[in-house]
């Protein structure tokens, strides 16, 4: 397990799914974690309770980080409360899947705002603090859909591909201040949303995964924790694909 003792971490979209798993993993590694959510306050509070019960430290801040005020407010809360921000994980995301002929402009804009714009806004806000301290770790959650594309997800795939481009560009901008910027790109991951898929569908999807299984939230969380740690201090602008070999 990597050590994140005395680090202050902010995880967006951390009330459920992959974001929740990342928050729990960072806390288990010793970080104090700010749990961001947009709608589900109860689930966010449950994540905090889980961390505290395990002996960790965490707090909650609700905000729509796809809006500038929300992103700035989240980072301000972290720095005002804890004096700094060491780690930012941009995980907030949504989907509005459809084939392009049936996808509305609102469906496209909404996904771009939640997934890509939030990553840019939160990174911009956090970098100000990180540059002053000459230290920071930013990890952006992309997707295999941003690398290989996925039918019915022109909006989602575009947003996740944009996150990869943003990651590489920002990594070049802030490297001289000892700030690393990386991305994780999960493949098929078992979450509450995917656990109910029929067995015939999951079996067919497994045929495209060389390791023969879907990923777990823990697989993604541990990869993210590594990139936030000092063990990864010489890695920046990298996309760590956590997909069981699908994109080889």
Residues found in the chain: 248
User: How many C-beta neighbours within 10 Å does residue 135 have?
Assistant: 19
Could you identify the residue written with the tokens 């997707």? 143
CB 60 within 8 A of CB 33: no
Those residues whose C-beta lies under 8 Å from the C-beta of residue 83, and which sit 6 or more positions away, are: 8
Beta carbons of 116 and 162 less than 8 angstroms apart: yes
List CB contacts of 118: < 8 A, sequence separation 6 or more.
Answer: 12, 65, 66, 71, 90, 92
Residues carrying an active site annotation:
156
Sequence-distant (≥ 6) Cβ neighbours of residue 24 within 8 angstroms: 47, 50, 51, 221
């Amino acid at each position: 397990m990597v050590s994140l003792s005395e680090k202050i971490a902010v995880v967006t979209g951390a009330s459920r799914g992959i974001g929740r798993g990342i928050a729990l993993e960072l806390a288990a590694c010793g970080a104090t974690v700010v749990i961001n959510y947009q709608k589900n306050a109860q689930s966010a509070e449950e994540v905090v309770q889980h961390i505290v019960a395990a002996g960790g430290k965490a707090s909650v801040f609700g905000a729509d980080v796809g809006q500038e005020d929300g992103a700035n407010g989240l980072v301000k809360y972290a720095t005002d409360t804890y004096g700094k921000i060491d780690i930012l994980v941009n995980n907030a995301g949504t989907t509005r899947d459809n084939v392009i002929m049936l996808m509305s402009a609102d469906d496209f804009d909404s996904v771009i705002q939640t997934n890509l714009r939030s990553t840019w806004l939160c990174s911009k806000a956090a970098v100000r603090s990180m540059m002053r301290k000459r230290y920071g770790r930013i990890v952006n959650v992309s997707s295999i859909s941003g690398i290989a594309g996925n039918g019915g997800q022109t909006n989602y795939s575009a947003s996740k591909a944009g996150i990869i481009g943003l990651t590489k560009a920002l990594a070049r901008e802030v490297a001289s201040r000892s700030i690393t910027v990386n991305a994780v790109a999960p493949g098929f991951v078992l979450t509450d949303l995917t656990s109910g898929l029929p067995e015939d569908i999951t079996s067919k999807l497994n045929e495209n995964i060389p390791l023969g299984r879907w990923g777990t939230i823990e697989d993604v969380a541990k990869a993210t924790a590594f990139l936030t740690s000092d063990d990864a201090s010489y890695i920046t602008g990298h996309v760590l694909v956590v997909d069981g070999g699908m994109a080889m």
